[in-house]
Every structure is written in C-alpha cells, then in structure tokens.
Structure 1
Amino acid sequence: MSVVLAEFADGVAVFTLNRPEARNAVDLEVSKALAAAVDEFEARPDLTIGILTGTGGTFCAGMDLKAFARGERPSLPGRGFGGLTQAPPTKPLIAAVEGWALAGGCELALTADLIVAARDAKFGLPEVGRGLAAAAGGLLRLPKILPYQLAMEIAITGDPFTAEDAHRYGLVNRLAEPGHALDVAKELAARVARNGPLAVRATKQVVSMAANYTDADGFETQREFVDPVFASADAQEGARAFAEKRAPVWTGA
C-alpha cells in the first residue's frame, strides 16, 4: 500500500497522505514518497495546481513519534519535513484539511498557498508540550499570517485553534462542511486550472516573495518570472482566444 497516493487529471494534482492507522503521521517513507510525487507535479507542464490532503478524516497528525523515538527523522536535506516544508513547489498548492492538522501536519498546511478546511477541523503546534519546537516552518509562517500576539499564543501554549477562528483571521481561505474539504478544494483548484499554467506559476512566485522586497526591488526581481510569461506561446493564445471569443487552449509553453 502506497503511503502517498497521487492523482493527476485536468490540470490538477491531488496528493493524499495514506496512513490512516497512524492518523497520517509522517515518517521518512512518507517524506520520500511525497517529495517524489511533488517532483512529478513540478515537471509536468499539463499540471497547474496541486492539492494536499489526508485519508481517514485526518489531515496529518505530524511527525511519527514512534519512528522518531527509533532515531528516524522525517526530513529530507534541502526539502525539510515531509519533503515539502523547506522547499514548496513553484506551482500553487492547496491544503484540504479534515480533522486535525497537528504539529508537522499544521506546518504542512502552512506550506500551502491556500487552505480549505472543514468547519470542525482543528490546527495546532503542540511541540512545546513535548519538549520540542515547531521547526518545520510553523514558527516562521504563522506570524506572517496571524497577528503577532495570536501567533505567539498559539506557538508557546501549544493549544489548538479551530478552522472557524483560522478562517476569521485569514489563515483559511474557504470553509467546507465536514467531509467535503477535498470537494471544495477541487472546485477552487479547477478555477485556477482554467488559467494559463505559466502565468499561474509565475504569479505564485511573485506573490510569495512580495513581502521580502520594497516596490522598487520587487519590480526588478519579478522580471525573472513575468518576462518569460509575456514572451510565451500561451500569452499569444490567450490574446487570440479573447479576440475570437473562445476558451484558450494552453500548452504550458
């Protein structure tokens, strides 16, 4: 049985953590499998956006502590926890969260560009209660999304927070009825996948780096990403399709 299921169709990749007996906890095998699936997603020009989710009504319970106690670390060099948190894909990624996104599972969700969560889902960084620290990006990403004091409270108490609260503060894009987070994520992904794949990829890159630059520096830096888009065959196709009042046919070139 594969610990990560990967489906590719209609411009969308769906990655499913598949260890329901362990609440989709991440061990080294999961990290390697997820990294390999993301590599295929990145390499295929017919795929525009990805979705990460979990089986069995749980997104991810974090690091497999039994494997950790045996001396195993579920991080890959240069890629981080789950083969993902330190090196997210250049294409957009949606986290579709049911149940718990806990510890490293919460950090996987924070790695995504968009989050869809069931109304009864819960997030948390409980590492401090185990004598650990949320070192897979949670402490870095959470304060960029939530107010400082709220992010600090979550991080140093280890207490969980609800999807409803996360949505109110802008961390979750869309709420779904329980059991339907993946359905709503697929609807959102399909909307994105209608757009030019090169344009979407470049747009994600610019938006994700924007906070690191002044406007003047940002305009200079974004050229690396947007100039190839304007010079692409897809850009010409988009203009022709608009003039001819038809849907564009993207090639990713």
Structure 2
Amino acid sequence: MSHLTSPGHRRGVAARKAPLRLAVPGFAHPLVAPAEWGGLQRAGLPLDWVVLGAAAPTGPDSFAGGPGGRQDPYWLSAAVPLRSNGVRVLGHLDTGHGARPFGELLSDAQRFLNWYRVDGFALGRCPADAAGLPCTRRLTGALRTLLPGAHVVLMHGTHACEGYAALADQLVTYAGPWSGYRWSQAPAWTAGHPPERFCHLVHGVPLTHLDEALRIARWQGAGTVYVTDRTDHGGGRGALDPWECMPGYWDDLVSRIGPGVSE
C-alpha cells in the first residue's frame, strides 16, 4: 500500500469515488502497431488523451518523438478517428529536461498543428524542479498562443514542485515501474487540486495487481491513468519502451475504468 500525507489521505477518500479516465502515452508507429491504434478507435472508450509521435530516446543526448520532417499518412489515419470520437490528441514535444532549444519546440508544435490538427501538447521529459519553471512557463505560454485553448500536459514522471500546477492542465506525476509505484506517496500540496489535474503511468503491473494499482491511483488523487503489464526489461539505454504496445489485459483495464464498454 502506498504511503500518503494526511492532506493527501483526505483527498484520496473523496477521489476514490470519482471515475478514472485513461491516457495513452504513445504507442509505436501505426505501421508497426496497427492493432493498437485500431483498438483505440472503438467508440465509448474512457479515453482522456492520446499522445501522437512519442518514442523512447535512443540515448542520453537524443530527443524522442515529434512530428517528423513531413506529414505521415499513418499518423494522420491514427489521429483523425480519435478526434472524431471526441478524444484529445496531443503532439509529443520532448523538452530534454529543459535542454531542447525553444525554437525547435515551437517549430515541432506548429507542424503538429498544420499536419495533424492536434488538440494540445504533451511535454515529455519536462523539468520538475523550481529552476525549470521559467523555461516551462515561457514554452507553455507560447504553445497557448499558437493554439488558444490547447490542452497541455507536463510529463514530469515524478512529483514536481507546486509551481508547475499553474502552467498546465495536467501533470504526469508518476511514470515508472510497479515496483516503485506501490510504495509511492503524494506530497501534501497535491491535495489542493482536483484529481483531473494529475495522471499516473505505470508499467510492469501484473494482472493480479491491476485492481491494487487503480486503488493507489485513486487514493493518491490521480484522475487519469495508464497501467500496463509491459516492462522496460530493467531500464538502461537498450531497454524496450513499455508504452509502445497495448497491455495484455487491455479489456480488463477498460472494464475496470469504464464499465460496459469492454467486449
């Protein structure tokens, strides 16, 4: 069982009654994973948002994902049905923990808008400390100038300092393995925000612990989740991307989050 501060515990009591939504941090390219992208097009799925163009970095100095150098018909065929079903499609912008040049990020964002008409942006490897606040504030402000009403998700992967909550619609405050998630804790400041402001992404969760993982998400006040049995096989530069394919228990996950939509 995860450990919570007292304010987080009080919020968790209320949050566990709220419905969860699913986020998809980005499958492999649709040419490689057509079944995964096709499965997301089923009407009625409890999807909050889906990331387009995501990919694992190939090294410590590389940037992951993005819109590419030209419009890709496969990405377009994945995005259009989702948007038609009312699902937010977000373009993936890898900030490189704040090291990515501002101009490159805006250029990628513009291409996502021109080619795929995205509804917002997911900022991968977003800084989480106070030092990263100014550059993140500048970037999120510019993105909302490009796309008024853009849905912006900061993918920290860990609990960031509270100042980031004012910059985005949602913060990804956990992205990692089940071994760490089951003992994780939410800081006290998160209790002052509703569950829809937080998302948790957890890999390596066995089917036998699926219900427990969803309980932890609710207790910690996360309104959006993605849980998978896929793993990164120990991490490191040669690791697999646990998000690139659909969980083996996808229908079980959907039925626990959105009753009545799983076949």
TM-score bracket, normalised by the shorter chain, equals: 0.3 to 0.5
Question: Larger Cα Rg: Structure 1 or Structure 2?
Answer: 1
With a CA cutoff of 8 Å and minimum separation of 6, indicate the structure with the bigger relative contact order.
Answer: 2
Q: TM-score, normalised by structure 2?
A: 0.33
Q: TM-score, normalised by structure 1?
A: 0.34
